[in-house]
């Protein structure tokens, strides 16, 4: 009888521990890939479990907008680019950046060299592939800074081709340039048989119009709840532990991502290469948002010509409340 009671007591304790774990739903910006390796590593290595968290990672996709998911209560925290988050905030969705794992931007424009494009001024009177769903904001700001209209081709204008999430417009010569990320689409072009010597690339970082990508965002009113803040502190701490592990062990991190890819669409070579490139973007960040990086993003978005992404400097769009306790 004693053994039975002991077993029952242990089962009850185990159930209590399970019930004590705080649930967190994380909405990713895109599909399962090494761009989000830190979160999958934290899950796989038990970093979330060690913080008494039960984390569910929700993959994104072409029809999934993180801002809409979190607005509808489908996630507690979302990975989003700051331009989209600030644009949403100005329109009434009070998103707040609580952590910034990515220090640098991976966004760039990739062009055919034989079109004669060699500098940004040469982009005028061209057809340029651009992602939308919030991803167009950095591009629009850049064109505004250059004084190039996005209303159509001409000496001071470009034709904007609404680019799908592939590189076909470039390969099929439908566009002179397309949007690419240093860790993804650029390499898809190379893997299609194009030599790097045939291309010209313009990194947003090099052009001085880079904006912050892949930050962690929550709804502002949630931060009034001490229990939620505590949960986010533990989540950010475990997530950054995952990111730093991924930086130090890129091939292992890529394998973990592959293990979590339910679609089976990703390949080992591509994910390992992606992870090595992503590690360059997270390097230098401990997860704390640098106010100077934030201000650069805001200034870039405000300089978007006659149709800026945001019309005024945001207030309350970021906080160190979570990272101050989570990382120090």
Confidence of residue 2 (pLDDT cuts 50, 70, 90): very low
Q: Tens of pLDDT along 75-118? A: 999 999 999 999 999 999 999 999 999 999 999 999 999 999 99
Q: Tens of pLDDT along 295-310? A: 999 988 887 666 678 8
| pTM across the whole model | 0.89
The pLDDT assigned to 21 comes to 84
Number of H helices, E strands in the chain: 13, 10
The pLDDT assigned to 320 comes to 98
Q: Do domains 20-103+212-327 and 107-203 have the same CATH topology?
A: yes
Q: Is 73 left (phi over 0), alpha (psi -120 to 50) or beta?
A: left
Q: Tens of pLDDT along 49-72? A: 999 999 999 999 988 999 999 999
Show the tokens assigned to 33: 């890939």
Confidence of residue 7 (pLDDT cuts 50, 70, 90): low
Name the CATH superfamily housing domain 20-103+212-327.
Periplasmic binding protein-like II (3.40.190.10)
Q: String of b and e for 103-119 (b: at least 16 CB within 10 Å)? A: bbbbbbbbbbeebebee
Q: Tens of pLDDT along 12-47? A: 444 444 456 899 999 999 999 999 999 999 999 999
What's the CATH code, domain 107-203?
3.40.190.10
- Domain assignments of the chain as residue spans, ordered by start: 20-103+212-327, 107-203
* 79, 216 Cβ separation under 8 angstroms: yes
Question: Residue 101 and residue 13: Cα distance in Å, rounded?
Answer: 36
What one-character DSSP code corresponds to residue 167?
Answer: S
The pLDDT assigned to 6 comes to 53
Average pLDDT, the chain: 92
CA dihedral in degrees (11, 16, 21, 25; nearest 10)? 80
Q: Tens of pLDDT along 164-186? A: 888 999 999 999 999 999 999 99
Q: In which residue are the tokens 């898809």 written?
A: 188
Show the tokens assigned to 312: 């005024």
The pLDDT assigned to 305 comes to 60
The pLDDT assigned to 113 comes to 97
pLDDT reading at 1 higher than 60: no
Which comes out higher in pLDDT, residue 121 or 2? 121
Count of beta carbons in the 10 Å neighbourhood of residue 81: 24
Confidence of residue 135 (pLDDT cuts 50, 70, 90): confident
Q: Tens of pLDDT along 186-224? A: 999 999 999 999 999 999 999 988 999 999 999 999 999
Question: Residue 323 and residue 233: Cα distance in Å, rounded?
Answer: 7
């Amino acid at each position: 009888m004693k053994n039975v009671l002991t077993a029952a007591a242990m089962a009850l304790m185990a159930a209590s521990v399970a019930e004590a774990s705080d649930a967190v739903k994380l909405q990713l910006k895109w599909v399962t890939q090494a761009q989000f390796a830190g979160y999958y590593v934290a899950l796989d290595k038990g970093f979330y479990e060690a913080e008494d968290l039960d984390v569910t990672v929700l993959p994104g996709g072409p029809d999934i907008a993180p801002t809409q998911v979190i607005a509808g209560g489908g996630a507690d925290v979302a990975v989003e680019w700051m331009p989209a988050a600030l644009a949403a905030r100005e329109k009434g969705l009070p998103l707040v950046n609580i952590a910034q794992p990515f220090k640098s931007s991976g966004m760039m424009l990739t062009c055919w060299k034989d079109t004669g494009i060699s500098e940004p001024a040469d982009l005028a009177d061209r057809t340029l592939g651009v992602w939308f769903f919030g991803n167009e904001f950095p591009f629009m700001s850049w064109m505004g800074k250059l004084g190039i209209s996005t209303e159509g081709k001409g000496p001071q204008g470009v034709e904007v081709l609404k680019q799908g999430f592939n590189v076909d417009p470039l390969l099929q010569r439908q566009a002179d340039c397309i949007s690419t990320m240093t860790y993804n689409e650029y390499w898809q072009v190379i893997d299609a048989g194009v030599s790097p010597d045939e291309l010209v690339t313009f990194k947003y970082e090099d052009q001085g119009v880079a904006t912050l990508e892949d930050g962690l965002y929550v709804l502002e009113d949630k931060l009034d709840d001490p229990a939620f803040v505590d949960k986010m502190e533990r989540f950010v701490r475990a997530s950054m532990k995952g990111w730093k592990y991924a930086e130090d062990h890129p091939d292992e991190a890529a394998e973990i991502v592959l293990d979590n890819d339910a679609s089976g669409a990703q390949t080992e070579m591509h994910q390992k290469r992606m992870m090595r490139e992503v590690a360059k973007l997270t390097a230098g960040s401990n997860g704390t948002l640098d106010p100077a990086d934030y201000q650069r993003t805001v200034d870039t978005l405000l300089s978007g010509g006659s149709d800026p992404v945001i019309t005024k400097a945001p207030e309350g769009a970021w906080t160190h409340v979570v990272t101050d306790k989570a990382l120090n």
